[in-house]
Structure 1
Amino acid sequence: MRCSPTPTFDRGRVYRRCGCRDDHRHQLGTTCPRLATDPHHGTWVFAVDTPPVDGHRHTVRRAGFPDELQARIALRRFNEGLALCVITDPRQRTAEYLRDWLDEKELRLKPTTMARYRAYVEQDLIPALGTIPLIDLTRQHLSAYVTTQLRKGRGKVTVHRIMATLSSALSSAAHDGRLARNPAKPPILPRPASAPRRLWTEEQTARFLRFTHVTDPLYADLAELMIGTGIRKGEALALHWDDIHLPERVFFVRATLSVIDNNRLLLTTPKTRTSKAWVALSDRVVDTLEDRAAPPAFGQTTPAGGYVFHRHGRPLHPKNVLDHFHLLCDKAGVPRIALHDLRHLMTSFALAAGVPLPVISKTLRHRTLSTSANIYADLTRLAARAAVDAVAWTLDNADRSVLGRAVCRTRRPWRQHPRPHRQLPAHQQARTEEPSTPWPMWPGDHHATTS
């Protein structure tokens, strides 16, 4: 909206009107005779002309005020906000607010995030809730919307993401004082549980790599890089030769390849601030990249500083990469997994090899250690079992160094009474070795004496 160079705070008018109709079902508006005789008939309205946009004048009318004073206060606030190019309309529709919120977020969010937000707002939220005034939006409206969407067969994950977008917008409204509270909090639809993660075994991973190295070296090298370093799919597809330093065995993650509306490729910043960092390379991955950097046959050359993974110098489309990857999985005889699961394979193999989780978290470039622990909770359970087994192994070795054997848990004297009150039959009695020293006298023993 273009602001007036000399805004006037007395712009607009206030009047009273009603919803009465004549015999032809036409609204009387301000001509109703009852307005002149009954001071409580109808409601107060303010109308104001906003600055012209693209040569078209737009008049904002808001009704429903109980008296003239409330209407004039609302008009005054509207004009004050209009001078700053801010719409402080107390009866602003949810559709208008969501579009304004998107325009504000466009300056801060990544294009891929904005494309997803705009699709949810324009295709889902505005058709269902756009006509409701923002200040009248209640939790009942949102609950009814969620129920309707689920009955139509929409997936829970999709509905949860739509409501998360709306909750973010309403949180901004509550922070700015437009709403007393966010009606979307707590979430109406809890976040659906993630599907069980299915990973390859070491044998399946080796089989896939052997097969692809023969049939499709490009995808074999891509898989080697993702498994060997744990980088994300978009980061691998955006990798340039200028970012790789093979003598130092490192490369720098500078960007990620994103797709907008499934047709436009765009290089954007990595997922988090900590994702933009150096990543170490193993000897196996270095050999893979050296083979990829070697000049191919038939006189073709790799563009200097170009994409590492490309077709005729152009980056690979993520959707085509996923489809071809699944085709290679079928041909290699291994289960289909997502490309992002190759990043999880790196974590699985590192944990199995005994690498500490903090080291793995830094390698994956997670922002916090808790992020790694939450994502790989099922894998860390195996590491936790290995940790407690290591403690038991250490204590057993200490017993062997002193006693020459591991102590059996059932033979410890402090776990059982030396003389049970009820004598068991001989075939049910546990076979225990006689101690080298007499058993101590236990309080309460019927053979014990006191001095």
Structure 2
Amino acid sequence: MPVYKNEKAKGDNKWWFQFYTGEIKNGTRERITKRGFRTKKEAEKAMVETQAALQKGEYIEPTKKLFQDYLQEWIKSKRNLGDQTLELYESYLRTHIVPEIGHIPLAKLSAHDIEMFLGSLHEKGLAAATIKRIFSVVFAALNAAETKDIITKNVASKVEKPQVSRRRELVVWDPAFVSDFLERTKPDSRYWIAGYLAVMTGMRQGEILGLRWADIDFEKRILTIQQTVNRHREIKSGAKTKQSMRSVALSPDTIEVLKEHRQLIIQERVALGPDYQNNDLVVCTHFGGPTTQRAIQKMWTSSLKKTGAPKITFHDLRHTHASLLIKQGVHIKVISERLGHSSVSITMDTYGHLMPNMQEDAAKGLDALIKTKVVQK
């Protein structure tokens, strides 16, 4: 068997194999060589597997492409990702993945390399949830390479997936606190309407900043999400996912609040005349332009400080919206549709712990439907 051991090179006792494929190209007999096996048995096993793959027509010539070069090609192909998700992926590639393992040839990347990479992320002090997301990016990239027959197998599948010990506890406000908070903060900022819409509709921040007056049907009391505004103040058609392109029913009070806010926008548009940037946005600057996420954050921080409210993120208002619906007994599918989740299971995973009494209520509800008499003997 053509299996060899490196005996001449100092400190290198690895085994390798080489065999001819039977093909001739440019007058030269083609051969396959693979190195770096710890034992003779490993080299022999790998050679037999390679020969079998060659006979079945399943052999893939190892690519010489570096992992970082492949990653750049892969990320450009992810056209189905939302802008924020794509930006997050690119950040992971630039900040963590490429600097650590990008220099390794894609064909030579091993499970051990990825395990060492995950260890380095822990040493950096990154949160467990962040490490898990970074690993997911690496896994997805390698999975695509395997599917396209660029590599024979996704080595990340041999690595134990990072675990998040416990999900961050959701902080939500009760109805009375929400009412008091909104009442006390209303006169403070033109961007108050953004927080109000987050509570009353469950929309994401980018969806709120992209909402246009044309997207609101005041008679039918419904709005349709058609576009978003990203962190660069760019107006983007569409939404985060296909399910995010949705309609959301509005309460009568929400309609009245929107009408009141529209009067402010009309006054500013008339005052500025041709200098007004008419993007038809509900939440906008004095000049009609898209609002920055920084401006919303500044408003939000100021409101929390003024009211002494528990410190939560603006995004947590979306969770508060979900919790308010749950308290009303709204069906989980309706909640999922309002939030624009891709599946009901995501809604259940996120908010299931807020429904501890559903089983009990369901059992009691049976008594109301099925009337029976206790027969006494």
Give your verdict on TM over 0.5: yes
Give, in whole Å, the separation in 2 of the partners of 1:269 and 1:277. 10
Correspondence for 2:31 among 47, 70, 88:
70
Q: Are 1:270 and 2:251 matched, yes or no?
A: no
Q: Are 1:337 and 2:298 matched, yes or no?
A: no
The alignment partner of 1:184 has SS state of helix
Post-superposition shift, 1:270?
0.9
Against the structure 1 CA distance between its residues 118 and 214, is the aligned structure 2 distance closer, same or farther, given a 3 Å change threshold? Answer: closer
The alignment partner of 2:354 has SS state of helix
Cα deviation code 1:45-103 (max 9, x no counterpart) = xxxxxxxxxxxxxxxxxxxxxx962269xxxxxxxxxxxxxxx7623222222222233
8 Å CA contact 1:226, 1:343 repeated in 2: yes
Instruction: Tell me what 1:189 maps to.
Output: 162
Give, in whole Å, the separation in 2 of the partners of 1:153 and 1:359. 39
Instruction: Tell me what 2:204 maps to.
Output: 232
Q: Are 1:174 and 2:146 matched, yes or no?
A: yes
8 Å CA contact 2:82, 2:239 repeated in 1: no
Against the structure 1 CA distance between its residues 131 and 221, is the aligned structure 2 distance closer, same or farther, given a 3 Å change threshold? Answer: closer
Correspondence for 2:337 among 340, 362, 377:
362
Against the structure 1 CA distance between its residues 132 and 269, is the aligned structure 2 distance closer, same or farther, given a 3 Å change threshold? Answer: same
Q: Are 1:290 and 2:263 matched, yes or no?
A: no
Instruction: Tell me what 1:132 maps to.
Output: 104
8 Å CA contact 2:277, 2:289 repeated in 1: no
Give, in whole Å, the separation in 2 of the partners of 1:326 and 1:166. 35
Instruction: Tell me what 2:284 maps to.
Output: 310
Against the structure 1 CA distance between its residues 69 and 133, is the aligned structure 2 distance closer, same or farther, given a 3 Å change threshold? Answer: same
Q: In structure 2, what residue type is equivalent to 1:328? A: S
Post-superposition shift, 1:331?
0.7
Give, in whole Å, the separation in 2 of the partners of 1:153 and 1:287. 48
Give the alignment of 1:34-433 within 5 angstroms: 69-70=30-31, 90-105=63-78, 107-185=79-157, 187-191=160-164, 193-216=166-189, 218-259=190-231, 263=232, 265-295=234-264, 300=271, 306-311=280-285, 312-391=287-366, 394=368, 398=371, 402=373
Against the structure 1 CA distance between its residues 96 and 304, is the aligned structure 2 distance closer, same or farther, given a 3 Å change threshold? Answer: closer
Count of residue pairs brought into register by the alignment: 324
Against the structure 1 CA distance between its residues 129 and 379, is the aligned structure 2 distance closer, same or farther, given a 3 Å change threshold? Answer: same
Post-superposition shift, 1:294?
1.3
Give, in whole Å, the separation in 2 of the partners of 1:156 and 1:214. 40
Against the structure 1 CA distance between its residues 237 and 144, is the aligned structure 2 distance closer, same or farther, given a 3 Å change threshold? Answer: same
Unaligned stretches of 5+ in structure 1? 1-17, 22-42, 45-66, 73-87, 408-435, 438-451
Give, in whole Å, the separation in 2 of the partners of 1:108 and 1:362. 20
Give, in whole Å, the separation in 1 of the partners of 2:177 and 2:244. 29
Against the structure 1 CA distance between its residues 322 and 387, is the aligned structure 2 distance closer, same or farther, given a 3 Å change threshold? Answer: farther
Against the structure 1 CA distance between its residues 177 and 335, is the aligned structure 2 distance closer, same or farther, given a 3 Å change threshold? Answer: same
Q: In structure 1, what residue type is equivalent to 2:30? A: L
The alignment partner of 1:381 has SS state of coil
Q: In structure 1, what residue type is equivalent to 2:257? A: T
8 Å CA contact 2:67, 2:104 repeated in 1: yes
Q: In structure 2, what residue type is equivalent to 1:366? A: H
Give, in whole Å, the separation in 2 of the partners of 1:131 and 1:365. 39
What is the TM-score of this pair, normalised by structure 2? 0.75
Give, in whole Å, the separation in 2 of the partners of 1:137 and 1:68. 28
Give, in whole Å, the separation in 1 of the partners of 2:80 and 2:371. 59
Which has the greater radius of gyration? Answer: 1
Q: In structure 1, what residue type is equivalent to 2:147? A: H
The alignment partner of 1:256 has SS state of strand
8 Å CA contact 2:192, 2:299 repeated in 1: no
Q: Is the helix fraction higher in 1 or 2? A: 2
Post-superposition shift, 1:278?
2.1
Instruction: Tell me what 1:7 maps to.
Output: none
Against the structure 1 CA distance between its residues 266 and 166, is the aligned structure 2 distance closer, same or farther, given a 3 Å change threshold? Answer: farther
Give, in whole Å, the separation in 2 of the partners of 1:380 and 1:365. 20
What is the TM-score of this pair, normalised by structure 1? 0.64
Instruction: Tell me what 2:45 maps to.
Output: none
Which stretches of structure 1, 4 residues or more, deviate above 4 A after TM superposition? 295-299, 301-305
Cα deviation code 1:213-238 (max 9, x no counterpart) = 2323x333222222222221111110
Post-superposition shift, 1:152?
2.6
Q: In structure 2, what residue type is equivalent to 1:306? A: D
Against the structure 1 CA distance between its residues 176 and 235, is the aligned structure 2 distance closer, same or farther, given a 3 Å change threshold? Answer: same
RMSD of aligned Cα (Å): 3.3
Give, in whole Å, the separation in 1 of the partners of 2:259 and 2:108. 63
Cα deviation code 1:201-256 (max 9, x no counterpart) = 1121011111112323x333222222222221111110011211212211210012
Give, in whole Å, the separation in 1 of the partners of 2:124 and 2:205. 33
Post-superposition shift, 1:295?
4.4
Give, in whole Å, the separation in 2 of the partners of 1:154 and 1:355. 38
Identity between Structure 1 and Structure 2 (%):
24
Post-superposition shift, 1:391?
3.8
Q: In structure 2, what residue type is equivalent to 1:319? A: R
Instruction: Tell me what 2:55 maps to.
Output: none
The alignment partner of 2:260 has SS state of helix
Unaligned stretches of 5+ in structure 2? 1-5, 10-17, 20-27, 34-60
Q: In structure 2, what residue type is equivalent to 1:151? A: E
